[in-house]
Amino acid sequence: MERLISARVTPRVSFQAVPSLNNRLCRPFQRSSPATVMDVGRGRNLSFRPIRAQQPETKDGAATISTKREDPADVLKVKEWEVGMLQDEVAASQGIRIRRRPPTGPPLHYVGPFEFRLQNEDNTPRNILEEIIWHKDKEVSQFKEQWPLYALKKALDDAPPARDFVGALKAAHQRTGLPGLIAEVKKASPSRGILKENFDPVEIAKGYEKGGAACLSVLTDKKFFQGGFENLEAIKGAGVKCPLLCKEFIVDVWQIYYARTKGADAVLLIAAVLPDLDLIYLTKICKMLGMAALVEVHDEREMDRVLGIEGIELIGINNRSLETFKVDIGNTKKLLEGECGQRIREKDIIVVGESGLFTPDDINYVQEAGVKAVLVGESIVKQDDPAKGITGLFGRDISL
């Protein structure tokens, strides 16, 4: 219950910067001696902006301030905020630069009698991947309210089993002697804009299947890729037999269950976003649901982390930096050289070369580097006839 009180400004709570996070987050701690907000701010080289500006002053100069009694909802918000901070710290210690959500500082009511927030330029995403992840975090919370996990689990009781994504890639590789193709149903992307104006996901999927694709990747993000879960559902419903990868930005186990209810046989897990424990947990859930997990890496550190996780069958090397959009197919070769390549062979992991593949020479280059599968979007989705696009990409008809 809210009540207005008049009191001197003697805060109970102050802020302590967390150095490993470049002062972008502040942790509240109890102070034994009174201090002013500005003292605290200056002392820590942080600036604070009172939310309730121009507090009226009483006769003796004390500020009139408003406060709320602690209620359970506030306590929960505080706990969530603290957990979020710890998660960010763990992620940063594993070299993960992508923050799960904007660092808004502690919930408003946490800071005792003062209602203020940190003034923080860091509340803007640092790159496109971070922007996507912040959006996903919000989107998933909203979706979860509409379709709670228990309802998704119930819907899966009668669902047909997931199809064998990894098996289909291996079979295609054995049959053709070329990398198994995961053909991407992709209308648009942040780096390239619209790729195909008259976009018919089912027609494209059927064309890919006819052209010899082993599996399909379907972008389900609406905001940045103009995709959708309805595309996944429609492709499955149209009788396409290739196993389907749900190409999403997964930050929560709920998304895996949701993807499964929409017909996905595999999901993408991005190591640049997910700390080790999340990768371990999410890959276990995939196994439990009979799905494959394509774990994507872009640099040596991510590759090293992923190779340290037991039970990973499929690793994607993205030639595109999702932070800068720079594409370099030499990245696949670089990450498969030396000790990493050795560990991959020992563990019998299938490596997928992803992004920026346009010609038979490109396919040959990544195959020589050691991939047994490729994930291709732009170069084939742009073609009027996607099946012919595949033939052009491989330099021969791979459907035979």
Residue 339 burial (10 A CB sphere; 0-12, 13-18, 19+): exposed
Our finding on whether 370 is near ligand LARABZUK (CB under 6 A) is no
DSSP per-residue codes, 244-309: EEEE----SHHHHHHHHHTT-SEEEEETTTS-HHHHHHHHHHHHHTT-EEEEEE-SHHHHHHHHTS
Our finding on whether 267 is near ligand LARABZUK (CB under 6 A) is no
Our finding on whether 354 is near ligand LARABZUK (CB under 6 A) is yes
Residues in contact with ligand LARABZUK, total (CB under 6 A)? 21
Nearest residue (beta carbon) to ligand LARABZUK: 377
Complex with ligand LARABZUK: residue 185 or 289, whichever CB lies closer: 185
Tell me which stretch binds ligand LARABZUK (CB under 6 A): 62-70, 153-161, 279-287, 376-384: 376-384
**Annotated active-site positions, please?**
184, 186, 247, 296, 318, 354-355
CB of 70 to ligand LARABZUK, least distance (A): 41
Q: How far apart are CA 392 and CA 75, in angstroms?
A: 60
Our finding on whether 127 is near ligand LARABZUK (CB under 6 A) is no
**Bridge-based pairing state of the strands 116-118 and 48-50:** antiparallel
* Site map (CB under 6 A) of ligand LARABZUK, residues 35-74, x = contact: ----------------------------------------
Our finding on whether 355 is near ligand LARABZUK (CB under 6 A) is yes
Instruction: Return the residue of 318, 331, 332, 383 that touches ligand LARABZUK, per CB under 6 A.
Output: 318
Q: How far apart are CA 394 and CA 247, in angstroms?
A: 23
Complex with ligand LARABZUK: residue 289 or 352, whichever CB lies closer: 352
Complex with ligand LARABZUK: residue 14 or 217, whichever CB lies closer: 217
- Answer whether 143's CB lies under 8 Å from 254's CB: yes
CB of 182 to ligand LARABZUK, least distance (A): 9
CB of 250 to ligand LARABZUK, least distance (A): 13
Please report where in the chains the tokens 């932070």 appear, as a residue: 323
Please report where in the chains the tokens 């002697």 appear, as a residue: 177
Our finding on whether 28 is near ligand LARABZUK (CB under 6 A) is no
Q: How far apart are CA 79 and CA 88, in angstroms?
A: 14
Q: Is 45 left (phi over 0), alpha (psi -120 to 50) or beta?
A: left
Tell me the chain's radius of gyration from C-alpha atoms. Answer: 25
Q: What letter represents residue 324's amino acid?
A: T
- Answer whether 275's CB lies under 8 Å from 94's CB: yes
Rule CB under 6 A: which residues touch ligand LARABZUK?
A: 128-129, 184, 186, 189-192, 318, 320, 322, 325, 354-357, 375-379
